[in-house]
A and B are shown apart, each in its own frame.
Chain A
Amino acid sequence: DTAVSQTPKYLVTQMGNDKSIKCEQNLGHDTMYWYKQDSKKFLKIMFSYNNKELIINETVPNRFSPKSPDKAHLNLHINSLELGDSAVYFCASSPSVGQGIQYQETQYFGPGTRLLVL
């Protein structure tokens, strides 16, 4: 059973297009995240949602808009794609303290979506 899943796994598109990446977790976690990993493997937080509420919004262009229809889903929509958006995007989730102290502060990552903008 996949805990954190992302679709699509690969995304190749032209500059200027709009695309979406979907993320779903079946762990019952309250918090979900989007990270961007560049070609040098540097991993940077973009957004975080807790129970559908935005709690972390790093310095990310307005072209990136997250949406959380429910606490099991966090989607990422990107408008007017640019060459510099090419990267691997990871979704992650983590439990709240009340969901088990042994899992506290642990983030569970999806397999990543490899985005290439041409």
Chain B
Amino acid sequence: AQSVTQLDSQVPVFEEAPVELRCNYSSSVSVYLFWYVQYPNQGLQLLLKYLSGSTLVKGINGFEAEFNKSQTSFHLRKPSVHISDTAEYFCAVSRGGYQKVTFGIGTKLQVIP
């Protein structure tokens, strides 16, 4: 079985400050890792994903994440946040193919002007 832990339910940060949203996973086999963003009253949208290759993954809107196998982590970072980044962020894990995607409980990023 696979699982995802998002350690922070809410992260307040001032505009233009850097942010890191933490995600740890557990799985007995190799996995694919994802970050999705959900803006208010909308569906989820993919920010970035790690399938293989370089452990540093760049996504949309200036976000990046680093896959760390030894620490089973996939933390999301942005060097300078904007008001428009205020949203719920979900880390997710999958074994690929037709296997289900397991989502974390989400981290609410609140950008303060």
Beta-carbon contacts of B75-98 to A below 8 Å, as 1s and 0s?
000000000000010100010101
Q: How far is the CA of A105 from the CA of B46 in the complex (A)?
A: 10
Question: Which of A31, A41, A50, A106 is close to B106, meaning CB atoms less than 8 Å apart?
Answer: A41
Residue of B nearest to A41 (CB): B106
Is A105 touching B96 in the complex (CB atoms < 8 A)?
yes
Interface residues of A (CB under 8 A from B): 4, 31, 40-45, 48, 50, 55-56, 58, 90, 92, 104-112
Question: What distance in Å separates the Cβ of A80 from its nearest Cβ neighbour in chain B?
Answer: 26
Bound together, the chains give a CA A50 to CA B97 distance in angstroms of 11
Residues from chain B with Cβ under 8 Å of A56 in the complex? 98, 100
Bound form: Cα–Cα A45–B101 in Å? 8
Interface footprint category on B: 20 to 34
Q: Could you list which residues of chain B lie within 8 angstroms of chain A, going by C-beta atoms?
A: 32, 34, 36, 38, 41-46, 49, 51, 88, 90, 94, 96, 98, 100-103, 105-106
> Is A106's CB under 8 angstroms from B98's CB?
no
**Cβ-defined contact, A109 with B45, below 8 A:** yes
**Cα separation A49 to B29 with both chains bound (whole Å):** 24
- How many whole Å from B30's CB to the nearest CB in chain A? 13
B88 to chain A: which residues have CB within 8 Å?
41
Cross-chain contact B42 with A107 (CB below 8 angstroms):
no
B101 touches A107 (CB 8 A): yes
**Alpha-carbon gap, A14 to B102, bound state (A):** 31
The closest CB in chain B to the CB of A91 belongs to B43
Q: Is A105 a contact of B49 with CB atoms below 8 Å?
A: yes
Which residue of chain B is the closest to A107 with respect to CB atoms?
Answer: B101
A-B contact pairs, 9 of them (CB 8 A): A41-B38, A45-B100, A45-B102, A48-B100, A92-B43, A104-B51, A105-B32, A105-B51, A105-B96
